[in-house]
Structure 1
Amino acid sequence: MANPFKNPHRGLLLESVLLVVTFLPVQILAADSPIPVGSRLELFVDRHLVDRMEGVEFRTHPPQMLPLPKSPLIGGYATVIKDGDLYRGYYRDTDPSYTGPQYSGHPGEITCYAESRDGHEWTFPSLGLFDVNGSRENNVVLARQPPFSHNFSPFLDTRPGVVPDERFKALAGHPGKDRKAGADGLHAFASADGVVWRPLGQGPVIPYDKAWSHAFDSQNVAFWSAAEQRYVCYFRTWETPHGRLRTVSRSTSADFLTWDKPVPMHPNLPGEHLYTSQTHPYFRAPHIYIALPTRYVAGRVGGEKTDPMLGSTDIVFMATRAGATSYERLFPEAYIRPGLDPDRWGSRSNYVALNVVPTGDAEMSIYHAKSGHRYVLRTDGFVSVAAGIKQGELVTKPLVFEGNRLVVNYSTSAAGSLAVEIQTPDGTSIPGFSLADCNVVVGDTVAGCISWRGNPDLEAWAGKPVRLRLVMTECDVYSFKFEPKPITE
């Protein structure tokens, strides 16, 4: 697939592009403890690395909905896992032969499986594992084990040394119709192939706590965190500083079986319910966790209608980092709106599948788990630091990097530009790497190398604290990283 974002860009000395360089005042800043970034990718989804901004702003970039082809991940909670060249999809459905009462976690709920080689077109393998509606010719991977199909949430366990028959793991559990006799917490499952699943142990690995009043009635998500060297779980609880609201707590484990005491994350605004957190490591920067929770607004059902028992939903964007006990919400408003489809304005009609996955050279996909629509956005393209026609700049906190060149994901207009200055921790430009030395870049690329008078080599400054000063006009900067690769240009 051709890269839709990558265009030729040219590097010119700054003075040849800007007739007048307006140097925004740089204050002398106290030397903070430098932040080690190594050679990992850093996104602007939070303020973690930002010291100051003048004439630029954080800008959100909602994904674009593609009408066709639709994914099969329609129904309830869903998960998409990219396993090498294979995309694995898991979603909830109901056995057509089930005629019993309908409630969350009822015996007729089933977990289904689909596959794709490109993330666009999906197939439904006949697995022969469960008799559903009188036949084993189906794609069901879990059935007749209530309430676990209600919110069965698998992941690919990337922990080094994981045993082969536990390469995939999952959590599931729900208070059920009768909490006293129903599920008693989150139970663990394992699989060698992501298709045939078995319980891990007999009881819950995260037991229900009566002090929570209610819990687990959502898609509770887990993963192995390479950054934390622990399993991490984000799950539904109800208590917040703003009262009893649907919210998120976090727990960690060394072995997936024994979990630490949960810590509330408190992401809610006053009066705001948050359903599925969908918190997961970003695939290009796994120390950053992206969250796409469903926001529930009680009483609203679209148009002029109101119903105190129902409500409207949309998707918001949050981020957190490995080990953090809070989310950062640069944008409290909706990230994905319900849109023109009237069915998206029904109660609980907007969930997205767990995980943002790559589906092209410079494309990522988010799957809407109710309508089946696929949403796309550019690689790293959740949030940018953006400048308009007037020149602006961002200065980072002191950083310590590994590698010998700086690569930036950016997009400019035809009249726009980006230049980068390397500074000492006190804000002094480093000779040879000043703004005047920088080759201005113009264009659109997810991996543009920055150079100074034709030289991109930063090896002399690796391991030493430096600041980055990004000066731009009509430009969006999405991410950056220092690459350890040897210079071959």
Structure 2
Amino acid sequence: MRALIFSFRFLPLYFIFFGSMAQEAIYLDDRRELFVDQYLIANLNKATIRMHQPVDMGKVLEFDRPWEGAFSAYVTIIEEDGLFRTYYRGVPTAGKDGNSAEVTCYAESRDGVHWRKPDLGIYEVNGSKENNVILANAAPVTHNFSPFLDSNPTAKPAEKFKALGGTSESGLVAFTSADGINWTRLQEEPVFSQGVFDSQNVAFWSESESQYVCYFRSWTGKGYKGFRSVSRTTSKDFVHWTEPEPMGFGDTPYEHLYTQQTSPYFRAPHIYLAIGARFMPDRQVVSDAEAEKLGVNPKYYNDCSDVFLMSSRGGNQYVRQFMESFIRPGIGLQNWVSRSNYPALNVVQTGETEMSIYVNQDYAQPSAHLRRYALRLDGFASLSAGYEGGEMISKPFIFEGEQLEVNYSTSAAGEIRIELLDGFGNKLPGYSMEEAQPVIGNEISRFVFWNNSSDVSDLAGNPVRMRVYLKDADLYSFRFK
């Protein structure tokens, strides 16, 4: 009886603490979580967050048509129901941004590897309509025309695809399309004008924020004396946009971010990945003689570029967890010229366990082309530990689901064990490290077991923490499913 009285006497205090914990806990629902930031991490002990480098899979698309050429750039990849579409600027000679020679080109593929350029017969270019041009005579929109597949559930069928393009002279002009090939200007005047725009300016419908977001070129400091940077604006209707906000980068140093290519990751759309081009002005690698031998335009070998990786979960902040290059320039001086190594917008799945990132290379050279790089699904970064072992303890979170699914890799000697704790960090009977079945192998999807059961539904809806022990292993993502 005394124990019962004691329990009820302190029950209100328990609910105060538990209620506070529930308010502080991160609500995951059944979303997949990656390790591109430390959003869920409370503590690391002998474990690290490791960025992984995509594997070069070779050339997939040459910019070899007369209206394409050495200065083709600003590529977008869109996948829908097994059809891959790519859009890019075609212009064979260097000129002022937004000049009349620039066109928007189109190619398509059924596997993301083998591409064809259909003769669309829409615009006459060089005296013929036998070409793959989907937009012409629309300067300066064709300088950086950047489309997306609109996932807004209220989007009109005739506006299934949307796009923005333009420079500071025109502002960002909006286009729409029902099929991704035939495009119509949404309105005569630009939809947004408060920016510099001399790069690829990207937009998409955000499921997590329930609005359109646009990330566009801006500059730090005054005029062009600072760094190329990124700002953001939002819209409910794709026509009326909010006052822009400059994006923050935490305490990382400023660098010239020529493109940012921010887009929702298709397996975790609440996480936006920015896989863009870092530009290093006046960092010359190629000599005059070497440039002449390569056939590089004289104005385009005084600088170099590579690919960076950062992320955002909405709002005006990026997390730049890695300052190191995500994709380094390849072997050969042709990769070390100005404005080469610029990644395309969007990551797409190209195999059962594979996703692809596309990068334009050999810029300002006769050999200009698009190249494919591959990663395992979710394989941008991992929670990792070596042979001596390490662990991570998460922040409190609340999930919905019945099983814990992991994407992971271990060595033959390695393993992963996962323990579920209550929100205060106390062991939960049935889900302890001692009861956890070792996870060994290399799989995109596997459920975690404790005492021969993977059922975690009793814990759903309550604050919990996750303790992950790794030995010579990587955990790429997890999800309560």
Instruction: Give TM-score scaled by structure 1 length.
Output: 0.86
Q: Which deviates the most, 101-110 or 235-244?
A: 235-244
Query: Structure 1 residue 262 and structure 2 residue 259: aligned?
Result: no
Is 1:248–1:267's contact at 8 Å kept on the other side of the alignment? no
Give 2:322's aligned amino acid: F
Judged with a 3 Å threshold, the aligned counterparts in structure 2 of structure 1 residues 226 and 71 are, in CA distance, closer, same or farther, namely farther
Could you say which residue in structure 2 is the equivalent of 1:80?
77
SS at match of 2:328: coil
CA deviation after TM superposition for structure 1 residue 260, in Å: 0.5
| Partners of 2:192 and 2:241 within 8 A in 1 | yes
- The one-letter code matched in structure 2 to 1:61 is H
In structure 1, what is the equivalent of residue 15 of structure 2?
Answer: none
CA distance in structure 1 between the partners assigned to 2:287 and 2:447 by the alignment: 52
Distance 1:37 1:64 in 2: 31
Counterpart mapping for 1:459-474 below 5 A: 459-474=457-472
Deviation at 1:270, TM superposition (A): 3.9
Which letter maps to 2:218? T
Q: Aligned to 2:234, which of 242, 252, 267?
A: 252
Aligned to 2:274: 291
Check whether the contact 1:298–1:309 (CA below 8 A) recurs between aligned residues.
no
The 1-side partners of 2:287 and 2:427 are apart by: 58
- Map 1:62-461 → 2, pairs under 5 A: 62-70=53-61, 75-94=72-91, 102-175=95-168, 182-183=169-170, 185-208=171-194, 215-239=196-220, 244-267=226-249, 269-270=252-253, 272-302=255-285, 310-321=302-313, 323-370=314-361, 371-461=369-459
Q: How does 1:20-99 map to 2 (within 5 A)?
A: 31=21, 33-70=24-61, 75-94=72-91
Length-normalised TM-score, structure 2: 0.87
Report the Cα offset of residue 304 of structure 1.
6.9
Counterpart CA distance in 1 for 2:433 and 2:221 is 47
Query: Distance between the aligned counterparts of 1:439 and 1:69, measured in 2?
Result: 43
C-alpha distance in structure 1 between counterparts of 2:141 and 2:231, whole Å = 20
CA contact (8 A) 1:71 1:121 kept: no
In 2, the alpha carbon distance for the partners of 1:482 and 1:447 equals 12
Cα distance in 2 between the residues matched to 1:203 and 1:364: 38
Distance 2:43 2:253 in 1: 28
Displacement of 1:324:
2.5
User: What runs of 5+ residues in structure 1 fail to find an aligned partner?
Assistant: 1-29, 176-181, 210-214, 484-489
Could you tell me whether the CA contact under 8 Å between 2:356 and 2:375 is conserved in 1? yes
Residues 82 and 228 of structure 1: CA distance in aligned 2, closer, same or farther (over 3 Å): same
**Matched AA of 1:330:** Q
- Alpha-carbon distance in structure 1 between the residues aligned to 2:62 and 2:301: 30
The 8 Å contact of residues 251 and 261 in structure 1, kept in 2 or not, is answered as yes
Deviation track 1:305-332 (CA, whole Å, cap 9, x = no partner) reads 89999311111110111x3211111111
- Distance in 2 between residues matched to 1:440 and 1:270, nearest whole Å: 41
> Which amino acid in the other structure matches residue 278 of structure 1?
Q
| Contact kept in structure 1, 2:172 and 2:190, CA below 8 Å | yes
SS in 2 for 1:67: strand
Q: Quick one: which amino acid aligns to residue 133 of structure 2?
A: V
**For residues 284 and 249 of structure 2, what CA distance do their matches in structure 1 show?**
24
**Which range moves more in the overlay, 237-246 or 357-366?**
237-246
Question: C-alpha distance in 2, partners of 1:69/1:220?
Answer: 24
Larger relative contact order (CA 8 Å, sep ≥ 6)? 1
The Cα of 1:359 is off from its aligned counterpart by 0.3
1:15-34 per-residue CA deviation (whole Å, 9 max, x = no partner) reads xxxxxxxxxxxxxxx94701
Name the aligned partner's letter for residue 177 of structure 2.
S
Residue 412 of structure 2 aligns to which amino acid in structure 1?
A: A
Would you say the 8 A contact 1:279–1:290 is kept in 2? yes
Count of aligned pairs between the two proteins: 437
1:135-190: CA deviation from partner (whole Å, max 9, x where unpaired): 00111000111111110000000110211110000000113xxxxxx32x111100
Identity of aligned residues (%): 46
Shift of 1:271: 5.2
The CA deviation at 1:69 is 4.1
Encode CA deviations 1:333-384: one digit per residue, 9 max, x unaligned.
Answer: 1111112132211111121110010000110100112341100000000000
Q: Look up the SS of the partner of 2:282 in the other structure.
A: strand
Q: Which moved more, 1:144-153 or 1:305-314?
A: 305-314
1:67-96 per-residue CA deviation (whole Å, 9 max, x = no partner) reads 2544669821100000111001001112x6
SS class of match (1:317): strand
SS of residue matched to 2:393: strand
Distance 1:312 1:456, change over 3 A: same
The Cα offsets for residues 191-213 of structure 1, whole Å up to 9 and x where unpaired, read as: 0100010111111111136xxxx
In the alignment, the residues of structure 2 paired with residue 146 and residue 308 of structure 1 have an alpha-carbon distance, to the nearest angstrom, of 23
Contact 2:56–2:374 under 8 Å retained in 1: yes
Question: What SS does structure 2 have at the residue aligned with 1:460?
Answer: helix
- Asked if the contact 2:301–2:338 (Cα under 8 Å) also holds between the matched residues in 1, the reply is no
Q: Give the 3 Å change call, closer, same or farther, for CA 243–333 of structure 1 in structure 2.
A: farther
| 2:286 and 2:301 in contact (8 A); partners too | no
Amino acid of the structure 1 residue aligned with 2:259? T
Q: Give 1:267 shift.
A: 3.4
**Alpha carbons of 1:38 and 1:419: their partners in 2 closer, same or farther (altered >3 Å)?**
same
Q: CA deviation at 1:126?
A: 1.1
CA contact (8 A) 2:300 2:339 kept: no
Paired letter, 2:466: L
Report the residue type matching 2:173 in the other structure.
H
1:384-430: CA deviations, max 9, x gaps?
01000112111111111111100001000000000100100111110
Shift of 1:254: 0.1
RMSD: 2.1
Deviation readout 1:194-235 (Å, 9 max, x if unpaired): 0010111111111136xxxxx100000000001100001000
